[in-house]
Amino acid sequence: MRVLVVEDDLMIGESLSEALQDEAYTVDWVKDGRQAILTLRVQPYDIILLDLGLPEIDGMGVLTAIRDAKIDTPVLIITARDDVKDRIAGLDSGADDYVVKPFELGEIFARMRVLIRRAQGKADNQIMVGNLSLDTAHKRVLMDTVPVDLTAKEYMLLTTFMLSPEKVMSKTELEDSLYGWGGEVESNAIEFLIHSLRKKIGQNRIKNVRGLGWYISNSKA
């Protein structure tokens, strides 16, 4: 899942980005409101973490602009503004949740999971595809109740597939879900990860549509 962090404080932005990457998110980070708006016009995200005190265009301006543009990506405001009026204004302007700095990373991650699963129409952190079960809170995958040991990138790729079962996704779409800006992507990285996943969850679970991409099947046959 891909996250946009909009934060001008270098220490907070860097630590938050690193923590999100450790949680198996793909992260892009921008430091002003204008860049955030430009980015959101061309790149889709699963969630936005938005500071309010931004240069160029403040966070409220970003929020108004993207909602006016019908961009419905969940927005979690993370700000030092703790006045109740600011919270009400943020929520009324289209934010989905509001956290005041300083914050605990565990709470941020939990709130993100709530917003993401709400956007996906899910009631809990479990994703089921056939005999595969993925727990986004604990980063755990089971196949017929047996744990599957995955690398971080394998887990991220499997999550992408399982969120859209039976949907064919191109190599570019899969790369976008796994690699942020500046991430080094080898030409055969996706093929290598798919090969590794097939060995762990079954050769026939991830299918190829020649010239179009890959999808995960509900059936293990």
Residue 187: the pLDDT is 81
Please determine, for residue 190, whether its predicted confidence score (pLDDT) is greater than 80. Answer: yes
- Mean pLDDT, to the nearest integer, of 112-133? 91
126-216: which CATH topology? Arc Repressor Mutant, subunit A (1.10.10)
- Mean pLDDT, to the nearest integer, of 171-197? 87
Mean of pLDDT over the chain:
93
Residue 192: the pLDDT is 94
- Whether 78 and 51 have beta carbons less than 8 Å apart is answered as yes
Say how far apart CA 154 and CA 167 lie, in whole Å.
18
pLDDT-derived band of residue 11, with 50, 70 and 90 as boundaries? very high
pLDDT-derived band of residue 100, with 50, 70 and 90 as boundaries? very high
Residue 221: the pLDDT is 63
Please determine, for residue 142, whether its predicted confidence score (pLDDT) is greater than 90. Answer: yes
- Mean pLDDT, to the nearest integer, of 47-68? 95
Domain ranges of the chain: 2-119, 126-216
Return the CATH number of 2-119, one of 1.50.10.10, 3.20.20.70, 3.40.50.2300, 3.30.2320.30.
3.40.50.2300
